[in-house]
Structure 1
Amino acid sequence: MGELCFLITYHPVTLTKQSPSKSIKQLLDALDQFPDAKLIFTKPNSDAGGRQIIELLELYVSRNPNRAALFTSLGQLRYLSALQHVDAVIGNSSSGIVEAPAFKKPTINIGDRQRGRLLANSIISCSEDTNDIVQAIHKALSPQFQENLPKVISLYGQGNTSIEIKNLLKTVDISNITLKSFHDVKFVEDLS
């Protein structure tokens, strides 16, 4: 495998006992175990604790300018373009659950933020512990895991839902649909 590149988005988890600062430090410590990997960070949402995460990410990127970049948002087109070229998606964002499998990319899903969601076979869930994150990244990069990525089925569709809806609507016979009747009712003002 050539030069590695990870796309990372980590949002604050609002219903947890662990502070966002501790959680993001665990992730950053894990990423330090891959010193040659290029890191593309996107900033977290505005939930409580997001500012703490941003401050730590800004500090991390300033200390690692040759390998890390932080973006407020890449926008849809740039994000999906980046997703196409990275080796793994890391964090706790829904993009690792919904979009990454459609691109046949492994996701390291950290913590409980996405608990209860349907997970494709390309998603490796782990705790917010540094060692667990490192092990999950190694698993995602392993030849055995990589070999199965082309067979991954996205559980959230293939991006053609609007076309399918349009085609289905074209088959619906609306000739027998009764239209709703409206009646004007005179309004009488009560002056008493």
Structure 2
Amino acid sequence: MKRKICVVITARPSYSRIKTALEAIKNNPNLELQLVVAASALLDRYGNATKTIENDGFQIAAKVFNVLEGENLTAAAKTTGIGILELSTVFDNLNPDIVVTVADRFETMATAISASYMNIPLAHIQGGEVTGNIDEKVRHSITKLADYHFVASNGAFQRVLQLGELPEFVFNTGCPSIDLAKQVLDQPQLDFDPIQKYGGVGGNPDLSSGYWVVMQHPVTTEVNQSRIHIEETLHAMYSINEPVLWFWPNVDAGADGTSTGIRAFRENFKLEKFHFFKNMDPTDFLKLLVNSKGLIGNSSVGIRECAFLGVPVINIGTRQNKRERGSNVIDVGYDRTEILSGILNIKSSPRPQSSGVYGGGDAGLKIANHLAEVPLVFHKTITF
């Protein structure tokens, strides 16, 4: 009998983080994939990921609409509570052997709590990392709720062990998103027109001489400053007068300030060289990055995939504090002058070398193989 593996995707970026593991689970003869899509991954305003998921050949077993509007701390807490209620029903219907949750977003806490209280073994991908904000609390809490740990780096491996988890169930698989980055490096050509393919809003800049990519999210511990933070980045990118492809923020608390800042800036300035996107196929997004002049913002893609791709990154603010990183990252504050200085540094420096700090490109297969082989556990008690 096949082992039923229920993977819960709660946000647009989580799909790219887990795509190759989904493929490996689907192709493993001993596993049955049960894919659940929930929270902001279902919302058009944050780049509904369902069409991309289905176009990639995955069947969605259940959809969970649990995001409470508001984009503030109270809405985030209530969204998590609704997620617990809804996911518990989904797990009861699907009856999985193992539930898999990804990374550190607040919605993933609902997955972890529901599975744990229902005595369903829980696997956690990308535990053990540190960032110094609310995501770190969520991540370490899920580690203590989880039974199996698929970490992305040596440092994360050691931290999960220090948290007291059983060594036989902690695996340094690398990050599945690096698998996609490796595929892109084999065929890095930008073989599509991003504006024609994905629409979006804004100008129609000429990308033939290069472009910058911006992806900046609010920081949940700095929600009151989110508009000020994004305005500094907007002013910096506007002043360089070069093509900019800008991606909309996640649904985190403070996203209303980030979004309002972008909309107000568009009203006051002619952004003919800016184009804004909500979402993009993970492989296309990585192709866009590897052909860019660099990534500006605070997304973890700058720390992970861009390290492997050798893409220069200006990492703004505190969102990625303490994460292991390659030589591709320049850290700056929420200040347009520092951002512009980082851009000048990138322009005057050679392209960074590829780094394998988050794995070598085979994480998805490793994760699927472990899921097929590990004994099922309940509250750290092994059952055969």
Same fold (TM over 0.5): yes
Aligned to 1:42, which of 232, 238, 247?
A: 247
Distance change (3 Å), C-alpha of 1:146 and 1:124: same
For the pair 1:159 / 2:361, whether they are aligned, the reply is yes
Aligned to 2:334, which of 117, 123, 128?
A: 128
For the pair 1:22 / 2:224, whether they are aligned, the reply is no
1:105, distance to aligned residue in structure 2 (A): 0.6
1:64, distance to aligned residue in structure 2 (A): 4.0
Radius of gyration: which is bigger? 1
- State whether residues 215 and 296 of structure 2, in contact with CA within 8 Å, keep that contact through their aligned partners in structure 1: yes
Taking only aligned residues, the RMSD between alpha carbons, in angstroms, comes to: 2.7
Name the structure 2 match of 1:183: none
* Structure 2 gap segments, 5+ residues each: 1-207, 374-382
Amino acid at match of 1:153: S
Name the structure 2 match of 1:68: 274
Name the structure 2 match of 1:52: 257
Higher helix share: 2
Aligned length: 169
1:16, distance to aligned residue in structure 2 (A): 2.6
Distance 1:21 1:83 in 2: 25
Distance 1:80 1:141 in 2: 20
TM-score of the two chains, using structure 1 as the length reference:
0.76
TM-score of the two chains, using structure 2 as the length reference:
0.40
Distance 2:273 2:312 in 1: 20
Identity of aligned residues (%): 25
1:34, distance to aligned residue in structure 2 (A): 0.9
Name the structure 2 match of 1:88: 294
- Secondary structure at 1:4 match in 2: coil
Distance 1:74 1:11 in 2: 16
Distance 1:29 1:64 in 2: 12
Query: Residues 48-69 of structure 1: CA distance to partner in whole angstroms, max 9, x if unpaired?
Result: 2212212332444564453111
* Structure 1 gap segments, 5+ residues each: 173-178, 181-192
- State whether residues 61 and 68 of structure 1, in contact with CA within 8 Å, keep that contact through their aligned partners in structure 2: no
Distance 1:30 1:19 in 2: 17
1:103, distance to aligned residue in structure 2 (A): 1.3
